[in-house]
């Protein structure tokens, strides 16, 4: 009987891990887009280097570090962050995963998640491409693809563009500042 209880516990742990991976798939999409960017560059440059692949995957995940910084530094008093900390303290991993998946789009105080940064990175990537600075092309392009995916994801999941994409700076919340519906 003891063996069956241990087995049930292990199966539940594996199911829980699968559940969390499924609800955290957004980051996997970013990593896959990094792989796709490395593949595109392989076709353009006519050669493949594993360091470009690894750099591309890393750079495609890099913009989401801003979310972690928000949780740790800037948004300490935000109710969203407070709830995340409560889930972490109580080890409610499934609830945490679903809460972050559904709630991360409501954080509109991220400084670098806006169209101005996307445009700036796109221009920089183009300049890097002209000067054959391959590593910087890999990094810049992967980050641009990350942000473009997030913009399309807003449209696909919410039917509208999150208001943070249209402003400059940290976007401190103001009265009535919310999502802009598509007309």
Q: Which helix (H) or strand (E) holds 162?
A: none
Rounded CA Rg of the chain = 19
130-160 pLDDT, tens digit each: 998 999 999 999 999 999 998 898 888 778 8
Q: Band the pLDDT of 74: cuts 50, 70, 90.
A: confident
Q: Is the pLDDT of residue 115 over 80?
A: yes
Spans of all domains in the chain: 24-181
Q: Is the pLDDT of residue 181 over 50?
A: no
d(CA 74, CA 66): 10
- Per mean pLDDT, which of 80-94, 110-124, 137-151 is the most reliable? 137-151
* Residue 1 pLDDT: 64
Single pTM value for the model: 0.77
Mean pLDDT of 152-179: 69
Distances (CA, A) of 74 to 46, 60, 105: 43, 23, 16
Q: Band the pLDDT of 6: cuts 50, 70, 90.
A: low
Which region holds residue 178: left if phi is over 0, alpha if psi is between -120 and 50, else beta?
A: beta
- Per mean pLDDT, which of 8-22, 91-105, 145-159 is the most reliable? 145-159
Mean pLDDT of 83-93: 85
């Amino acid at each position: 009987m003891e063996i069956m209880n241990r087995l049930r516990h292990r199966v539940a742990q594996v199911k829980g891990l699968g559940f969390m991976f499924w609800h955290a798939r957004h980051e996997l999409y970013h990593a896959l887009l990094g792989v796709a960017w490395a593949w595109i560059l392989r076709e353009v440059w006519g050669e493949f280097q594993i360091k470009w692949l690894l750099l591309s995957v890393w750079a495609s995940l890099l913009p989401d570090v801003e979310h972690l910084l928000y949780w740790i530094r800037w948004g300490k008093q935000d109710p969203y962050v407070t709830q995340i900390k409560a889930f972490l303290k109580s080890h409610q991993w499934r609830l945490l995963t679903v809460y972050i998946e559904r709630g991360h789009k409501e954080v509109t105080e991220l400084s670098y998640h806006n169209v101005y940064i996307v445009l700036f990175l796109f221009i920089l990537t183009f300049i890097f491409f002209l000067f054959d600075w391959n590593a910087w092309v890999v990094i810049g392009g992967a980050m641009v693809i990350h942000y473009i995916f997030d913009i399309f994801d807003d449209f696909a999941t919410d039917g509208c563009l999150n208001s943070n994409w249209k402003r400059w700076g940290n976007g401190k919340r103001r009265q009535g500042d919310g999502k802009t519906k598509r007309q």
